[in-house]
Homo-oligomer: A and B are copies of this chain.
Amino acid sequence: MSTEPAAGPPASIAIALYDGFTALDAMGPYAVLATHPGSTVTFVADRRGPIRDDQSLTVNVDTAFDDLPDPDMIVIPGGIITRRMARDGHPVVDWIRRVHPHTTWSTSVCTGAVLLAAAGVLDGLDATTHWIAYDQLAELGAHPTGERVVIRGKVATAAGVSSGIDLALTLVQRWSGDFVAQAIQLGIEYDPQPPLDAGSPTKAPAKVLEVVGRSMRAAEAASLA
């Protein structure tokens, strides 16, 4: 599939939701992209109506995939459920396969990369995902890296959950320059000051990494049953 260098800023941006998505994966990029001049962000799904995340949020989606047939850019969030979706097939994966050849940007946050990979978008390509899913991404034909944001041609992938904010700001900077990216960053007061420094597998204490890994793998196993 095409990974040629991308054109200018996307006019229409579709953030794809599905039952079991992780909210911040979608809402991080949304916070940045929804205020990008000239872009319109739309939440889409395989059907109109309520879509439930992996905790207690329900989003009312007004736009089905067929209502927005040729989005310039797609954003695919992740979730514990993505391994199952990649195994069993899912309308989101079919949709990615259908729209990707016509996008100017195909992007993912967290294990949204697993869905891009399941649709064949990441074949032989450097990409990133939540650290829990590096192996799975490799099994699906991508070359996982530990970078927070990976851009190859028109395909941009981000690491786990919160990294979608960095992905979106990086793309805005590329499309519209420093001034616009700085303005959006200032608008959302993105001057991060986490109280601890454990946000990546290379920084977290070994015991924390072990416990979180075990817990996430258990949740994933439960979703596969």
Contact = CB atoms under 8 A, between A and B. Distances in A.
A57 B178 CA distance: 27
Q: At the interface, is chain A mostly helix, strand, loop or mixed? A: mixed
A207 B131 CA distance: 38
A11 to B, nearest CB: 14
A194 B166 contact: yes
Nearest to A40: B56
A38 interface: no
Q: State which size class the interface on A falls in.
A: 35 or more
B200 A191 contact: yes
Interface stretch (A95-103, A137-145, A180-188): A180-188
Contact of A185 (B55, B170, B186, B194): B194
A30 interface: yes
A221 interface: no
A194 B192 contact: yes
The residue among A34, A148, A198, A209 with the most chain B CB atoms within 10 A of its own CB is A198
A42 interface: yes
Contact of A27 (B27, B42, B191): B27
Nearest to A186: B204
Interface stretch (A2-10, A83-91, A112-120, A154-162): A154-162
Contact of A60 (B59, B166, B204): B59
A99 to B, nearest CB: 19
Contacts of A31: 22-24, 161-162
Contact of A187 (B23, B27, B170, B216): B216
Interface string A45-61: 00000100001111111
17 contacts: A23-B27, A24-B28, A24-B188, A43-B56, A50-B60, A57-B59, A110-B189, A162-B188, A162-B190, A162-B192, A163-B189, A163-B191, A166-B195, A178-B196, A179-B207, A185-B196, A186-B200
